[in-house]
Chain A
Amino acid sequence: MITRREFLKMAAALAAAYGIQGLPAPVAAALNTLGPEGVPRLIHLQGLACSGCSISLLQADSPSILPLITDYSQLGFHSDLSAVSGKKALDLIDAFLSGKAGEYYLTFEGAIPEAMPEACVIGDNHLTDYLLKAAETMNGALAVGACACDGGIPGAEGNPTGAIGLKQFFRSRGIDKLVVDIRGCSVHPDWVWHTVIRLVKAGLPKLVNDSPALFFSRKVHEQCPRYHDFQEEIFAKHLSDKGCLFKLGCLGPDTPADCPTRWWNAGRTWCVNNNAPCVGCASPNFARAKSIPFYRISENREVPHQQGDDE
């Protein structure tokens, strides 16, 4: 007799291989009617974070946030939303992290202060203690946002805490666990929730450099509606101008993300549509070097060799 966990793992693997339509009817039905104990529990922990990714997750549109954390996943703990507080909250976190409360995925937001563990404490313990415990019991982790993936702004040049991302932290401790990187400062809610939905309904999504290929396989620049302006060398001279924003510093050529086709806030708009250069928030190098500013208003930036056209 296989356990439910083994069954779901097998079903998920089959779904990944054949798509859910190709599955035997009972397996597909089981995947579609997961009961309360079947949807993944998410334990959300924050490190050196601003809660911007969490707030972005609240902006999910269809489905909206409530079904996402009750029907498609179950939010086991989240510091911003959980009713429980204090010692009871610590007991709940400990129960999951020690493996006594059932299976769970870790969703992690924020960076890890590798050189200054006192810079992030939960209850009475360093954040790093919790992460090491979670590494032993979790099914896998989603690194949510620029900080959790690469250190983000807390890890930018000149930072005092030695902030790094989750994968680098685990690697430095010799831990080899599934960590799916979802970049962005903040993340787009779809990038996280669609990944969770795929995990539930169809198994692990296809990954490119550990990030879901669906969202991060092409550069912003390649998909930009102003790509034509770039080719025709119609460049914006001032912020608030139309035309390609490259010469004002746009980092779209270095940033893998589908913002140009997905848009933000229920499809209202996105940065370039507001004449704002891409600041590269979904790039692993986001904000990293002091010598690479977000904007280049006072220099006539040189147009690079058009690598997109030659490939």
Chain B
Amino acid sequence: MRTPKLPERGMRQINLGPVTRIEGHLNIHTTVENGAIVDAKCSTEMFRGFEMILRGRDPLDAQQITQRICGVCPYAHGIAASYAQEAAYGLAVPKNGRILHNLIQGANHLYDYLLNFYQLSALDYVDVTSVLRYQGRDEELLHVKQWVKAQLDSGMKFPGTPFLPRLPGPYITNVELNIGALKHYLEALTLQRKANQAVAIFGGKFPHSTAIFPGGCSQNARVELITAYQSLIREVRDFINDKYLPDIVAVAEIFPEYWHIGASKGGFLSYGQFPLSPALDSERFIAPGVLLDGKVRPVDFDRIRQDVKYARYDSGTGLSVRESDTSPSPQKQDAYTWTKAPRYDGRMVEVGPAARVMIDYLQGHNEGIRKRVDAYAASAGIRVEQLNSVLGRHLSRGILGAVIADFLLEESDRIDADAPTMAPLEIPESGEGFGATEASRGALLHYVRIANQKIDMYECVVPTTWNCSPRDDRGHPGAMESALIGTKIRDPEEQIEALRVVRSLDPCIACSVH
């Protein structure tokens, strides 16, 4: 039941769900007072029980089953599951195997960044009705103009779906800018498809790759495939540099207040990404770390605990990843979500693009990241810590997109043509392993324990599990909750400002709960 409206000046409770233009079933219970959110509770509304389904299965099923946790970033799960099995099996991965893992995962990141900015976030800033004033000759835009006009003239209910109706809010008023952004929205639809074609060249298909395995990739390292891959990545890279990054800057110039809005109030965690040689513990192209109190420290998986006081489980609380348990309790008292509350050393952390960029930057690790962060921060007049904001997350994605695209082109040149791409597989009687990587949405950890050649236990601690976390057992809010609390709202009923915060974190509820 919706809470009845209270008098204008008092405290009001408003649900933001269903939150659209994200993955999955998210509701957010907000309390608004004096034009600001004073409390927020992230309520994820879908549960499937992947860890229960995995138990007792063949270990090699894991990279197939866990990809289905999320159809938006399946490859990250496929990679994490493969890493975990590599550790458990003690595999010696050939050079090509690791490179192909990197190529398919990296191309998937590029699509996901474009998707988040254009298809998921842009409609919070861009006024699509501007197209009615378009006077140019671009066929595609003229077609959209005619379509919108026909829709509005048709007398039908809900014309212009899915682009209308929308929430009231300040949108960009500059017609040219709106139309340029709309054109890029359409182009991004094409470019995300090309990035995923690059993914599929080695992955077998997208979504849900069949060619990723522990130890590498079953596709052969054929030169013509590498060339096709590079050609697609170049197109995507050019779009990122020529359009995506400038569009982020343009939005930032019109809405500069969003450098200050939506900061989460804890630390940051990144597992780093793209091992630069076959061994799993080798240096990564983007450096891992946990950022607490301004200092970056090495990551220790044993310091992660998951609380469930406010999540719908009656399994133990505060459990480490190795001892995790999932026992659903749909009607549990005081629980308001299906997402567990992971904490690092008891601390709340944000994961995702801003965490990835800041943690690498503060270690002075990746040259491409450092240069771009310095340049963009100087021109926007922001400090590096302000990447922890709505605009900072978007900028971080753009920067990572540019840096990763360059990396993929270099990495693909390192392939030894026609050399092996996979380690021979043999499933041990027993074993265990962690697999950690960065999904587009942040730090992704899989853990597998094998007994009698079957999965004895499996646990996934997923990016949106961190970001959409509920209160922990001590009552401390999760990253998104903390980013929302304090946000100023014009209209409590239709909180476009809050939704901008939410979409900058790019939540994926299918991942979050799984």
Contact = CB atoms under 8 A, between A and B. Distances in A.
B165 A185 contact: no
A97 B410 CA distance: 52
A161 B20 contact: no
B64 A294 contact: yes
Which size bracket describes the interface of B in this complex?
35 or more
A295 B58 contact: yes
A240 interface: yes
Interface string B475-493: 0000000000000000001
A36 interface: yes
Given A121-B25, A124-B2, A79 B165 contact: no
Query: Which of A35, A84, A95, A271 is most buried by chain B, counting CB atoms within 10 A of its CB?
Result: A84
A74 B161 CA distance: 7
Nearest to B213: A239
B27 interface: yes
Contacts of B469: none
Contacts of A163: 48
A125 B98 CA distance: 46
Given A120-B45, A185-B68, A240-B420, A102 B157 contact: yes
A275 B219 contact: yes
Contacts of B199: 265
Contacts of B1: 124
Contacts of B208: 52, 185-186, 281
Interface in B19-38: 19-25, 27
Contacts of A48: 46-48
A132 to B, nearest CB: 18
B210 A102 contact: no
Nearest to B140: A66
B219 A66 contact: no
B70 A76 contact: no
What band does the interface of chain A fall in when counting residues whose beta carbon is under 8 Å from B? 35 or more
A131 interface: no
Contacts of B203: 274
Contact of B201 (A83, A113, A269, A275): A269
A123 B18 contact: yes
A158 B218 contact: no
Contacts of B52: 158-160
B211 A274 contact: yes
Interface string A20-62: 0000000000000001110001000011111111111011010
B39 to A, nearest CB: 17
B284 interface: no
Given A80-B20, A84-B167, A269-B200, A276 B210 contact: yes
Most buried by A among B16, B167, B186: B167
B45 A268 contact: no
A213 to B, nearest CB: 23
A107 to B, nearest CB: 12
Given A51-B23, A161-B48, A240-B219, A58 B189 contact: yes
Contacts of B22: 79-80
Interface in A279-306: 279, 281, 287, 290, 293-295, 297-298
Interface in A118-173: 118-124, 152-154, 156-161, 163
A56 B207 contact: yes
Contacts of B508: 51
A240 B164 contact: no
Nearest to A74: B161
B15 interface: yes
Contacts of B207: 52, 55-56, 186
Given A79-B20, A92-B158, A58 B204 contact: no
Contact of A275 (B72, B150, B211): B211
Contact of A121 (B45, B420, B493): B45
Contact of B165 (A41, A71, A84, A297): A84
16 contacts: A51-B23, A51-B71, A53-B71, A59-B206, A76-B158, A83-B165, A84-B165, A85-B20, A119-B330, A124-B2, A161-B49, A270-B204, A274-B217, A274-B219, A279-B64, A298-B426
- For the complex of A and B, the 10 pairs showing the least CB-CB separation, nearest first, are A52-B71, A293-B58, A118-B330, A83-B166, A276-B210, A274-B204, A264-B205, A265-B200, A121-B45, A50-B71
Interface of B: 1-2, 15-25, 27, 45-50, 52-53, 55-58, 60-61, 64-65, 68-72, 74, 119-120, 123, 128, 144, 147, 150-151, 154, 156-159, 161-167, 186, 189-190, 192-193, 196-197, 199-208, 210-211, 213, 216-220, 228, 312, 328, 330-331, 338, 420-422, 424-427, 493-495, 499, 508, 510
